[in-house]
Structure 1
Amino acid sequence: MTTPVLYLFGSAAPPVADVAGVITDAQHRGFDVCLGLTPTAARWLAPQLTELERLTGHPVRSEYKMPGTPDVWPKADVIALAPATFNTVNSWALGLTHDFVVGVVAEGIGKRIPTVTMPCVNAAYVQHRQFERSVSELRSMGVRVLYGEDGFQPNQPGQGHPSEYPWHLVLEAAVEMHQG
């Protein structure tokens, strides 16, 4: 039996700084992990990228590959996008695939790859009507969105606690979705 492949994607919200521990946890849960980051998240983690590549055994990606070049990652069995910022959630729901991570998860819907996401947004952002529409749109397309009672709860601006981000919920959902 082959090891299931988890595409672990993160956007630029403070909990992304803990991604090394999340990778290790996912590996302990039986996944081969490929890490993808939005460009800003990759810039934030630039000093750690070599270590993250060593940890996963795969290149960390934040950009689309060149046309005609082979993919450097195995095919995904499940995708987890967390933390997902306000921009990432809205771009994805609207089909705006300017970033590699958003492009892969948007295409993943059509490929029927089980996908889970957990936002990381503050209470001011969620007042924008587009956010709730985007969450509803992603859910209607089959994406499991961990937001609200059973997922991420927004905090007041500037009062977040990145160390309390419930990463375990994302990984538990990925395991559950893979096992079907």
Structure 2
Amino acid sequence: MTRTLYLFAGAAPPVFDIARVIEDAQARGWDVCLGLTPTAARWLEPSLDGLAALTGRPVRFEYPLPGRPEVWPAADVILVAPATFNTINGWALGLTETFVVGALAEGIGKGVPMVAVPSVNAALTQHPQFERSVETLRAAGVTVLFEDAATGSEYRWQPALAAAEAVAG
């Protein structure tokens, strides 16, 4: 039985590794559906067709028009990586102006297992809302991997995929 991973990515430098991460997830047995924030989609615009071919599904970065059929299978787990300051705060506050944040907010309500790996600079982590947002998401059952995400060290893709596998069961 194929498991479905929604991989949602924001506009932070680790997003440029997304094709490799999709391949790693597929090697682990995941059917990957890729969702991007609007800015991440703009950054990756020259690669969107190739990413769609890699996943075998359309890359989504905006809400579909009403009445259109769902083009992705249901998620077994959602991995949000890189999760930006804007995505973390919007998600925690329920501000669903983008497709990714709207799907994340619904994921909490549907009980979909979720993992978030922030990619936020040190100055933004000092903003008081960021810590509150991380606490809110954790209280809602989201696994947030944030121990060293803001230190400038290598982005934690392998622990992110391992955490997604663990929460998916």
- Determine if the TM-score, normalized by the shorter chain, exceeds 0.5: yes
Helix, strand or coil: the match of 2:91? helix
Report Cα offsets for 1:64-118 as digits up to 9, x if no partner. 1111110111111100000011111000000000010000011000000000000
Give deviations 1:46-77, integer Å, cap 9, x for gaps. 01011101100000000011111101111111
Quick one: distance in 2 between partners of 1:113 and 1:85? 20
**Distance in 1 between residues matched to 2:150 and 2:32, nearest whole Å:** 27
In structure 2, distance between residues paired with 1:15 and 1:36: 15
Q: Distance in 2 between matches of 1:10 and 1:66?
A: 21
Match for 1:170: what amino acid? A
What's the secondary structure of 1:124's corresponding residue? helix
Name the amino acid aligned to 2:19: A
2: distance between equivalents of 1:88 and 1:153?
15
Task: Give how far 1:119 is off.
Answer: 0.2
- Matching residue's letter, 1:19: I
CA distance in 2, matches of 1:15, 1:92: 20
Q: Distance in 2 between matches of 1:12 and 1:69?
A: 27
Distance 1:95 1:125 in 2: 19
RMSD of the TM alignment (CA)? Answer: 0.9
**TM-score w.r.t. structure 2 length?**
0.98
Partner of 1:166: 156
What residue in structure 1 maps to residue 150 of structure 2?
154
SS of residue in 2 equivalent to 1:17: helix
- Measured in 2, the distance between the counterparts of 1:167 and 1:153 equals 11
What is the SS of the residue equivalent to 1:75? Answer: coil
Name the CA distance, whole Å, in 2 between partners of 1:141 and 1:85. Answer: 18
Structure 1: runs of 5 or more not aligned? none
Stretches of structure 2 that go unaligned for 5 or more consecutive residues are: none
Q: How far 1:134 moved relative to its partner?
A: 0.2
Aligned amino acid, residue 103 of structure 2: V
